[in-house]
Each structure stands twice: as structure tokens, then as C-alpha cells.
Structure 1
Amino acid sequence: MSNSNALTAEALYEHPSQFALLSQKRFAPFFWVQFLGAGNDNVFKFAFTVLVTYQLQVQWLPASMAGLVIGALFILPFLLFSATSGQLADKYPKEVLIRFVKNLEIGIMLLAGWGFVQQNVPMLLTCVFLMGLHSTLFGPVKFAYLPQHLTERELTGGNGMVEMGTFVAILLGNVAGGLLIALPLVGPMVVGVACVALALLGRVLAQAVPDSPATDPALTINWNPFTETWRNLQLAHTNVVVFRSLLGISWMWFFGAVFLSQFPAFARDVLHGNEQVASLLLVVFSVGIGAGALLCEILSRRHVEIGLVPLGAIGMTVFAVDLYFASRGLPPASATLTLGQFVGQLAHWRVLADLALLSLFAGIYSVPMYALIQMRSQPTHRARIIAANNILNALFMIASSVLAGALLGAGFSISELFLCIGLLNAVVAFYIFMLVPEYLLRFVAWMLTHVVYRFRVQGEAHIPTEGAAVLACNHVSFVDAVLLMAASPRPIRFVMDHRIFKVPVLGWLFKLAKAIPIAPRSEDPAAYEAAFREATQVLREGDLLGIFPEGGITRDGSLQPFKGGIIKILEQAQAEGLQEVSVIPMALTNLWGSYFSRIELRNGEPTAMVQPFRRGWLNPVGLNVGEALPAQAVSLDNLRERVLGLSD
């Protein structure tokens, strides 16, 4: 959409929190459809698992293998049909596919109901596979639907709601499935009726899902799942940031699958608890994921804030490692502990706290990645990118089972397995952040604006979420660029004085951010011209370019005269036919006098970065963003007047 349309959408969809989306037709029916679908999956699967584990004696399906076989059958369609489902979600309207999937769910659950009543295990295994197919078809539709109906400022909150809803539905589905199948005599029949009822309710709600037009209606479907899977992975790889984010999400599923698969054995062999203790671990994990997902909107100030991803990764490692130490120091138990006995011992609360915080940070880690993929993927290919993610998720989850089995087979305890996965998480996260420095840069920006300063942005809706633009801001401190990064929903390429790259740490960060060094023409003519060529290229590619028109950090706190470099960049852009470039005036406020600004005089020269606590901790600073100016209407004088007015 254009910038003006985006601003209109922002105003139209302004709401106090992500929970307000549940009252809006563009989100609520979709949310409850996916919630009921996830819940129904788990009512069916868990009830079936309990049936063949405790109630039936199936010679060819031993109880010890039932959970593994059911899980493998459910995940197999993700490997076989995700590529096809991604094509369908790009080619056809999303609401049509949602209704088709819910119709399919009704048919599958009617078969499953008959299978439960007849206690026909082969039929129920067939239904497990078919429900996996149902989820495979729905996955790309689910995540491609959100960007069509939510603005950039709602995307993080919307994804948080969906992830929270999914894990709550999984939890409730497992609990309900276990309780219903255990009903004497009528358990299997009640489970069958419940599954059909949930499917019917989901279909009724699906009728209210609003129109979601096809993004690539001319697409020709390739029905070969193997060649299309490879093509999807190649398609995802064309956008390096998106592809590596897919790998990051898949790693989270790898990480989580290890813990989820080991809860029963961990509860029995390490915590010495009964089945209720294992269920408690699942509850704590699910609630933690949901809480972390919901926190993302608050922590991100309603932007797609990928700076939260490193924060989540750090928390996952810290609490996975602490879980190892907490579980090693538990008192011995002479008998299996009931739920009441387990929670009555203080040492067990540390285990539960570690598990809750570990999962909370996993939620914080994953939601911004999903939102980034949705925002950065080309709309015509978005569903196929999500399908590629589902394929990778399935492969990573299979790999997690292989690795966990290998380590346990090699003599590792479950606690040691958790320790290894926690440490491996740190290695994998560091590798991803080095491959995609944007995550690390946004993390530094997020930390600076939440730990060092109390950062407030006024007029943030004027920062465009798409299209080329020049951000022109006053220059007060050595961290101005970092603060602008924190305020922008998109990466910014800055034109910066070449001398700032020599500043320890900050220089390294600006190199990671691919900032463009510029030197005076008299000092280095080649570097001067190269900077303008690169700046124009940034606009040509439709990205954001950040400029401090004063040419250097203010030495007395006042706004200095603007230099002509910004006008030269705009003229070059217009000469190349880039007519839609806009200029966004900005002003940082209350930053003068802080640690990173030049304020103290030494030998008559202003000096920065001395006396770290000169203004205390968490002192307020702000960024005021003005309305966009057409590039053709910008002059040095009127731009400076705009920035000066925003500085007040």
C-alpha cells in the first residue's frame, strides 16, 4: 500500500492492545477457527494415544511405540505436502481454503468417531495422517492471512495472539482428550462426538472469516511434492534475511521438541513424580510460551522488533542451563511423588521457574521471527515461504528426535541432555546473529532504549513501512543512529562521518549495519563520490536512508547549519527517475548532556563518553517524527526549519 494508505490504515486500526483484535471481524473468526483446529488435533491425538497405551492391547503397536508412531504419522504430511499447500494458499483466496480445510476436518472426524466407537486402530492411524494433512494445508494459509489483514504495528501482537492461542489449545486439547477417553464405558464414543462437534463449530466460524484475495491467482500448481519442495526452499533462499529467519524458527522447534518429548521421562526418572507431574510440566511450558508471545507486543512497542530475538535466545540458554543444575540438586525420593507432594517441596519450584522462564523466552524468540518473515516476504510468494518454513520445522523436529535418542543412548541423563541443548542453543544463536547482523543490531538498539534510556517516539506512524525514503535527523550524540534503528520498523542504511567508524564498539556496530562512510571531498574525493553512489543505490532499492544533515555531532547542543549533501542525494535520485522518494524530518530531544553526547569541556574541547552516570539511569529521551516531504519540495532551509520545530 502507499504511505498515505498505510497511515490511514494505522489510524483505522488503532487499538489499546492485541486483545482488542478479538472483537474485530478481520481477526476474531480466524483466531477461533485456528484455536479450535489446534485443540481438536490434540483432543484426538492424545485420546488415541491413551487408548492404545492403557485400554487396548494391540500386538503390532506396542504401548511403548504408540506415541512415536502417532507423532511420526502426524508430521509426515508436513514433509510431503507443505510445498503443494503453499502453492494453493498463494493461488486461491484464503477464506475459500479455510472453509475447505474445515469441511475436510469434519469428514476426518466423522471417520475418527467411527474408529473410536469400533476401536479400529488402523482407521484411527489413517485419521492421524489425514489430520496431519489438514494441519499442513492450514499452516501456510494461517500465517499468510495475517499480513493481509493486520498493519505492521499489529503484526507482532497478532502473531503473539495466534501463538498463545495455539499453545493454549494444545494444552486444553491434551487435558480434554485424556479426561474424556478415561470415562468408563463411554469414553471412546464421547471423544468421537467431541471431535466432530469441535470440527462443526470451527466450520461455522470459518463462514465469518472475511475475504482474503489470492496473491498470485495465475500460479500454475506443480503437483510433484519433491520438486516443489526443493523449489520452495530455493525460493525462500532468495531473501537471505527471510531464509535465515526460517532456520531460526526451525531451531526453536528443534529446541522445544527436545523438552516436550522428554517431559514424561523427566517427571518420572528425574523429578520422581507421577503422571500428574508430567502434565504440570506441560502446563507450565505451554503457559510460558503463551506469556512470552503476548509480551512481545509490549516489549516491541507494537512494531516488528527483531531485537527481541537475541533476548529470547539468551533467556532460553540461561534457563536451560539452570534447569540442569536445579534438577541435579533435588532431594532423593523413596516413592513416586503425587502432584501435591511435588509442589510441596521448595526445590521443585526452581525447576518449574526455570521451565516457565525458558518457555517464556522461547515465545519472545519466535514471534518476531514469524512477523519478520510475513513482513519481508514478497506477498505473491508469502504462503510458499511459510510452506518452506513448515518443511524445515518438520526436518528439524525429526533431527531433534535423532539427536536426543543418540545422546540418551550414549549414556547422557535427561538433565545432561537439557544442558547440551541449552549450550548448543547459544552456539546456534550466535551463528545466526553473525549471519544476519540485523538481529544483533536491533538487540543493541532495544537494550539502549529500554535499559540506558527511557525512549519515547512521537509521530512514529510517519516512518514509512515500505518504499524509499530519506530520514533526516539532528545529530546530538554518538548513539543517534542506534536510537533511530530502535524507532524504525525497517532497517536503515546511514551515511556517517568516516571518523565514527574508529570509535570502539560503536564503529564495529555501524560496520555491521552497513553504514556508508563519507569523508570531505577535500580529504578523500574517491570516498566522497562513492558515498553518494551508494546512498542513491539504497533509494533505488526502495530502502530507508538515514542522514544527519549537520555533517557532525553538535558541539553546543544547538542545531547546526545543514550541509548540501542531502540535496545532492535527492537530485541524483530524481535524475534516475526515483520520483516517489520522500524525506522524513526527525529530531532527537533531551539527549544533549547524556553520556554519549559532547557536553563536558576538556582543554576547551567538548568531550563525550565520560562520567557514565552524569544524568543518572534511565533518563528520558525522545524522537519526534514529522510528516513526510516530497523530495522535490525539500530545500536546506525548509528542512532545517522542520527539524528545528520538532526539536522544541
Structure 2
Amino acid sequence: MTTETVAAEAPMPTAGAPLHPNQFALLRQRRFGPFFWTQFAGAANDNLFKFAFTVMVTYQLQVAWMPPAMAGLVIGALFILPYLLFSATSGQLADKHDKRSLILFVKWLEIGIMVLAAWGFFHAQVPVLLACTFLMGLHSTLFGPVKFAYLPQHLDERELTGGNGMVEMGTFVAILLGQVAGGLLVDIPAIGPQAVGFACIALAVLGRLVAQAIPASPASAPGLRINWNPFSETWRNLKLAHGNIVVFRSLLGISWMWFFGAVFLSQFPSFAKEVLHGNAQVASLLLVVFSVGIGAGSLMCEMLSRRHVEIGLVPVGAIGMTVFAVDLYFASRGLPPAANLTLGQFVAISAHWRVMADLALLSLFAGLYSVPMYALIQLRAQPTHRARIIAANNILNALFMIGSSVIAGALLAAGASIPQIFLLVGIANALVASYIFLLVPEYLIRFTAWVLTRIVYRFRVRGDEQIPVAGAAVLACNHVSFVDAALLMAASPRPIYFVMDHRIFRQPVLGLLFRLARAIPIAPQKEDPAVYEAAFARAAQVLREGDLLAIFPEGAITKDGQLQPFKGGIMKVLETARTEGVQPPVIPMALTNLWGSFFSRIEQGTAMVRPFRRGMFNRVGLNVGAPLPAAQVQPEVLQQKVAQLLAA
């Protein structure tokens, strides 16, 4: 991968985009606000239509060929079928055409479908409404790749997590409001179906009007030739996604989250009735709690990630999902039997509050789990293929959700209770997440760095906008402690390859961490010439491939807390890179207030003794300076720049 390729893969922020204090301020900006409300209206309309239709055929109509018990399954299957059939085609269309034009087309299509659906509601034509269910699934299939490929085209790296969090929150709130509105409208005496029809048309028209303000979003691959064969193109999309192993494993991780969530969502009605002994209002309460939890977790991602794509949150989310899924099993065991509790009666029983807390926290951690994965895929996927990668994700999501229905049904048929299914899914989540994190160690590395900078230390970064989100660069930093590398990892939105003294790899825990991070061991030339030369060759390769390389020019951890003279190793790195045709900028950095903490040396040159010698939650910092052109770098000049940053 060349430097130019990596640069092309970076998200393209809107030129001159104003700074904003938080993710909610994006709603006031044209590049995000109209898009957000367009997707919000579409998701609400999907669910208003589906839920009203389900209620109507379950309670109000007698359809001999579709018994009420099968209605929900048939409607859900018809809605998800287009994801399997047409996701590959929709991904190609989103890469080939301007995304604004596609969104407008999809919204016109939605209006046409909803006009037909209104006729079906007016005349109680179940076959017509089933056809509209399939067509609304097609509408969502066309919109999905456009939606997630749009965001990185208009948001920069520091906005991507917040933008995804807003979209994820908005989607679940729209689902909730759509289902509530659908249930209330269809139940209006005498005019319920007509009210649903008019509401669906109104939402579709509103979404089309708002979409008019969405800015132009040029095609990423205008010369792409469409392959209309959905089966061969689906296979090609999956192979395309597999080309970037981190992206592909993230697709699997997101699909697993949909498997996990689908198990809970599909079992809420039965769980409320058979286990919690509540009525339909209690089932609705569970949906509200779940949706609010997902939304809260999604919104928390920007704050917890410090406005970067922070995949260290993914293991945090996975841990929480398992802990509270397992606790939900214990919380729902042995509840006193009751007869069809109303909502007020249900919330008056204290044992039920633990159930609701487990459900809220479980879904909150699911939000923490999914949003960084979506942002990572958008950041790392090549722009010319981004929509097709998202299409591959939609295909996998659909397959995993179908699999969740089959497996949950098989477990119920085998005699498992609903709480037991929740327990098994919670345990399976721990196993699946561990497997993914072992396959992609970057998640565990970033998790370690996240814990270190939020729990062990209070870490503040100044000037992190100087760290490039694309292209090769050399990061040159003072060396104060055994965790300097982890602190730099936490400050960078991209992976960093470190050139490190080979002796640190002998440390039991840190050595494993640095091996997982694919750090480059280096030894003095006199001690081991082969390791010495191999280190510089590998460093040049990292820069040639457009990645970040970090080096500690002092050559060793300081023994007295003072900045040591910089050695010539960085010059050899730049010289070797120059022979490979790469002249990366060098970015000076300074770690501050780290000397004297647990991981730094103290008297007699020892480290990692007396854990609380400076108390807890020590304030430490990283100051990042402006990049220096490679041609201007000399050890003395670079040392002076780092010294200035230390004094800042």
C-alpha cells in the first residue's frame, strides 16, 4: 500500500467545516442535519408501517392463509429478504452515483410505496401490504450503503464517531417512535387503518422535503460497471471486504451485535408475558428501555473516545454486554407468579427494576460496542469501495439475524426457557468477542491504551490535530516510562508501529502487548547487527506503506527525568526511507508529568515499584508539535523542538 493510496482512503471532510462543541451541534450544519432527519423519517416510517400492519393482521383481520402467530415472522422475513437479494447491487449504485441523487430517488420511491400501502390499508388488502413490506425492505436496502458511505465523505476523523453515534441513536429512537405511533394509530376505532395510511404518506413526503437540503456527494467510483447478478456480486463484495482483514473482522463483529440484539428484541413479547407476567404495555416498556439504552451508549462514544475513532471501546462494550446478559438471567429467575400485570403494577415490584437495569445497561454497552466499529469501517475502507463494503455488512447482518431466529427457535423447541436463551447468548458473546479480539489484536491494544489513559492516568493531549489521519509520518518523542508507547497509541486515531529496544520485549505483560502491536525490536549494532539492520529495513517498509512510525530518539528510558541527547538512529530511519522513495514529515512530541509515576524509573533506576507512590489518577500529558520536513531534521534540531514542547 503506497502513501498515495492511504491518503485516498482517508475520509474527506467538508472544506471549511466549522468547529463545533459536540455531536449535537452537527444537527445545525447542512452537511449533517438534513441527512440525519431524512434517515430518521425513513426509519420511523419503516417501523410505523410494519408494526401497524402486524397489529392489524394479528388482532383486526382474519386471514385464513396467514394465522396471527405467523404474521410477525412473515412480515419480518419479507422485509429482510431484499437485504440478501439486492445489497450487492445497492452498494455498486452508491459507489457509482452521487449519493444525494440516490437519496432523492429512494425518497421518491418511498412516497410511491406508501401511496400503494395506503390503498392497501384503506381496503384491507393483505397481499398488497405484503408486497409493500418487500418494497420497503428494498427501499431500506438501497438506502443503507448510501447512509454509511455518506458520513465519511462529509465528516472528518474527529467527527466520525459522534456522527455515527447520532445516526445510531436516531435510528433506534425512530424505530421506537414508529412502532409506538403505528400501534396507536391502527387501534383508533373505525379509522385506524386509514390514519396509518395517511401517516405513512406524510412521513415519506416529509423525508423527501428534508432530503432536498442534503449537499452534493460526488460518486467515489463513477466508472464502475454494474454487475446485476446479485449472487456473483455478493460473493465479490465479501471477497472485497476480506481484502482488509481489520475491516472484515469488524463487519463480523457488527453482524454478531445484530445477532445478539435480534435475540432480545424477538423475545420481548414472550419474555414480558411468560416470565415477567406482564401485559402488552410491559412488552412495550422493554422495547423503550432497550432503545433508550442503545441511544445513550451511542451518544456516549464521542465523549469516551475524545472525538476520535476509538476502537478501545469495543472490548468495553463486549464485556458489558456479557455481564448484563448473564445477570438478566439471574434477575429473571424465580419472579413471583402474577396474572397479566399492568404497567403500573409491573414497575411497583422492586425485583423488576433489576431486570430493567440489566436490559438498559446491556443495550448501552451494545451501543459502545457497535458505533466505533462502524466508524472504523468507514475510516479504513477504501473510498472507491466503501459503499460496497457497507453492502457486504448488510448481507452479513441479514444472515446473522436470520441465524438468530433459527437458533432461538431451535433452543425453545428443545425446551430452553427465555432466560436460559439470554444466558447462552451472553456466554456466546464472550466467546465470539474474545475470538475476534485475538484475530485482530488492535482492539485489545487500543483497549489497554484506553484503560491506561482514563483509569490509571488522567491523560490530556494538546496539538493532536498535528497527527496526520492519512499518509506516512515519523513520530519522535521523549522516552520517560515503560508505557510511553501505549500513551502514544491512545493519542493517535491510527495504528502506530514502534521502534523499540529489544530488551523491553522480555517484560512479561508489556512484552506481549508490544508483540501484539507488531513493534519493531532494535538492538545496538555491535550487539546484534542482524537485528539492527532488520529494524531499519522494517521501519522503511512501514513508511513506504503509508503508516505511522514512532521512535524514541534518546534510545533508552531516562534515568533522571531529564531529556537525554538524541542519537542518530532517526537520521538512519529517514535515510533508509529516502532510498525507498519516501520522505515523511517528522512530528515532535513530548510526554509531560510522567516522570516519577509507577511505570517510570525512580531512585536506583528501578521502575514499577510502590504502585501508589504518586497517588491515583495522575495527570499526564502529551504535547504535539508542528511537522518538520524530513530534509530539515537533525538530532539537535529535533531535540530542541521536543524540549520546547516539554516547557510549554
Aligned twin of 1:451: 455
Map residues 545-584 of structure 1 onto 2, 5 A cutoff.
Answer: 545-579=549-583, 581-584=584-587
1:529 & 1:41 partners in 2: Cα distance? 60
Aligned partner of residue 629 in structure 1, secondary structure: coil
Map residues 353-372 of structure 1 onto 2, 5 A cutoff.
Answer: 353-372=357-376
Q: Encode CA deviations 1:306-355: one digit per residue, 9 max, x unaligned.
A: 0000000000000000000000142232x111000000011100000000
Aligned twin of 1:303: 308
Aligned partner of residue 611 in structure 2, secondary structure: coil
Map residues 587-598 of structure 1 onto 2, 5 A cutoff.
Answer: 587-598=590-601
- The one-letter code matched in structure 2 to 1:417 is I
Aligned twin of 1:196: 201
| Residue among 433, 440, 464 paired with 1:436 | 440
Aligned twin of 2:609: 610
The question of 1:471 aligning with 2:475 is answered yes
- Checking the alignment, whether the CA contact within 8 Å between 1:587 and 1:625 is kept in structure 2 is yes
1:531 & 1:137 partners in 2: Cα distance? 48
| Residue among 96, 100, 110 paired with 1:95 | 100
TM-score, L = length of structure 1: 0.98
Aligned twin of 2:637: 638
Aligned twin of 1:41: 46
Q: CA deviation at 1:2?
A: 7.0
Map residues 307-346 of structure 1 onto 2, 5 A cutoff.
Answer: 307-333=312-338, 335-346=339-350
The question of 1:223 aligning with 2:228 is answered yes
Q: CA deviation at 1:9?
A: 6.6
- The one-letter code matched in structure 2 to 1:43 is L
The question of 1:376 aligning with 2:380 is answered yes
- Checking the alignment, whether the CA contact within 8 Å between 1:73 and 1:129 is kept in structure 2 is yes
Q: Encode CA deviations 1:152-196: one digit per residue, 9 max, x unaligned.
A: 000000000000000000000000000000000100011000000
- Checking the alignment, whether the CA contact within 8 Å between 1:33 and 1:202 is kept in structure 2 is yes
Map residues 531-550 of structure 1 onto 2, 5 A cutoff.
Answer: 531-550=535-554
- Checking the alignment, whether the CA contact within 8 Å between 2:100 and 2:216 is kept in structure 1 is yes
- The one-letter code matched in structure 1 to 2:588 is P
| Residue among 282, 294, 303 paired with 1:289 | 294
Q: CA deviation at 1:7?
A: 12
Aligned partner of residue 332 in structure 2, secondary structure: helix
Aligned twin of 1:58: 63
The question of 1:507 aligning with 2:506 is answered no
- Checking the alignment, whether the CA contact within 8 Å between 1:44 and 1:195 is kept in structure 2 is yes
Q: CA deviation at 1:545?
A: 0.3
- The one-letter code matched in structure 1 to 2:359 is L
The question of 1:20 aligning with 2:25 is answered yes
Q: Relative to structure 1, is the Cα distance of residues 7 and 574 closer, same or farther in structure 2, using a 3 angstrom cutoff?
A: farther
Q: Which runs of 4+ in 1 moved over 6 A?
A: 5-11
Aligned twin of 1:408: 412
The question of 1:180 aligning with 2:179 is answered no
- Checking the alignment, whether the CA contact within 8 Å between 1:94 and 1:214 is kept in structure 2 is yes
Q: Relative to structure 1, is the Cα distance of residues 590 and 248 closer, same or farther in structure 2, using a 3 angstrom cutoff?
A: same
Aligned twin of 2:532: 528
Aligned partner of residue 620 in structure 2, secondary structure: strand
The question of 1:628 aligning with 2:627 is answered yes
Aligned partner of residue 587 in structure 2, secondary structure: strand
Identity of aligned residues (%): 76
Greater mean deviation of Cα atoms: 562-571 or 276-285: 562-571
1:29 & 1:395 partners in 2: Cα distance? 31
Aligned twin of 1:167: 172
Aligned partner of residue 493 in structure 1, secondary structure: strand
Q: CA deviation at 1:6?
A: 9.3
Aligned twin of 2:242: 237
- Checking the alignment, whether the CA contact within 8 Å between 1:181 and 1:187 is kept in structure 2 is yes
- The one-letter code matched in structure 2 to 1:214 is A
- Checking the alignment, whether the CA contact within 8 Å between 1:474 and 1:588 is kept in structure 2 is yes
Q: CA deviation at 1:14?
A: 1.9
Aligned partner of residue 96 in structure 1, secondary structure: helix
Aligned partner of residue 328 in structure 1, secondary structure: coil
- The one-letter code matched in structure 2 to 1:141 is V
- Checking the alignment, whether the CA contact within 8 Å between 1:7 and 1:462 is kept in structure 2 is no
Q: Encode CA deviations 1:538-560: one digit per residue, 9 max, x unaligned.
A: 00000000100101100000000
Q: Encode CA deviations 1:594-628: one digit per residue, 9 max, x unaligned.
A: 000001x2xxx310000000111101000000011
- Checking the alignment, whether the CA contact within 8 Å between 2:92 and 2:388 is kept in structure 1 is yes
What is the RMSD computed on CA atoms of the aligned residues? 1.3
- The one-letter code matched in structure 1 to 2:594 is L
Q: CA deviation at 1:8?
A: 9.4
- Checking the alignment, whether the CA contact within 8 Å between 2:13 and 2:154 is kept in structure 1 is no
Q: CA deviation at 1:633?
A: 1.0
Aligned partner of residue 25 in structure 1, secondary structure: coil
1:8 & 1:347 partners in 2: Cα distance? 49
1:13 & 1:262 partners in 2: Cα distance? 45
TM-score, L = length of structure 2: 0.98
Q: CA deviation at 1:575?
A: 2.0
List gaps (5 residues or longer) in structure 2: 1-5
2:571 & 2:19 partners in 1: Cα distance? 35
- Checking the alignment, whether the CA contact within 8 Å between 2:554 and 2:565 is kept in structure 1 is yes
Q: CA deviation at 1:11?
A: 7.6
